[in-house]
């Protein structure tokens, strides 16, 4: 299934003061990361050693929520406020780095953590790339 992000951005009738390709890449990465974090948290809850994964579960859930909110805000352009978008992207990059680092601690034992760490790392980079494009 292909993403609808770019087609939706291309149909937006007013000007968007951002590079649409970078914006679409960030939104897609945010959505993918939110899904990976949600799935990883759920998989952690199914592991035998749940107490050892408590921080991972919490970090996954926080990251998923922050990525989801950021994707939704970046998808809206009417009355756009660059300061809000920048703040969310900074927070999201921080959450993604924390989650990637935490998941990486468990990736040798849990494949879902390895996949999630990769998604978080990619999302952190996409957020930072869009922040750079906004300056």
In a domain, 9, yes or no: no
Grade residue 1 by pLDDT with cuts at 50, 70 and 90.
low
CATH number (domain holding residue 108): 1.20.1270.360
Residue 1, domain member (yes or no): no
- 97 domain residue, yes or no: yes
Please tell me the predicted confidence (pLDDT) of residue 10.
82
In a domain, 110, yes or no: yes
Which residue segment(s) compose the domain that 101 sits in? 19-134
Instruction: Write out pLDDT tens, residues 79-128.
Output: 778 899 999 999 999 999 999 999 999 999 999 999 999 999 999 999 99
pLDDT of 21-49, one tens digit each? 889 999 999 999 999 999 999 999 999 99
Highest mean pLDDT, choosing among 3-7, 14-18, 19-23, 87-91: 87-91
DSSP, residue by residue, the chain? ---SHHHHHHH-SS--SS-HHHHHHHHHHHHHHHHHHHHHHHHHHHSTTGGGGHHHHHHHHHHHHHHHHHHHHHT--TT--HHHHHHHHHHHHHHHHHHHHHHHTTTTT-HHHHHHHHHHHHHHHHHHHHHHHH-
User: Does 13 reside within a domain?
Assistant: no
């Amino acid at each position: 299934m292909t993403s609808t992000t770019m087609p939706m951005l291309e149909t937006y009738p007013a000007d968007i003061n951002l590079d649409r390709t970078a914006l679409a890449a960030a939104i897609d990465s945010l959505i993918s990361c939110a899904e990976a974090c949600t799935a990883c948290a759920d998989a952690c809850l199914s592991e035998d050693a749940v107490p050892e994964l408590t921080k991972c579960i919490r970090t996954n859930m926080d990251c998923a929520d922050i990525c989801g909110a950021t994707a939704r805000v970046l998808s809206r352009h009417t009355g756009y406020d660059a300061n809000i978008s920048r703040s969310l992207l900074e927070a999201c990059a921080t959450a993604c780095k924390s989650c990637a680092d935490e998941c990486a601690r468990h990736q040798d034992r849990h494949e879902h953590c390895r996949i999630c760490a990769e998604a978080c790392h990619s999302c952190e980079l996409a957020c930072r790339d869009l922040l750079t494009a906004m300056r």
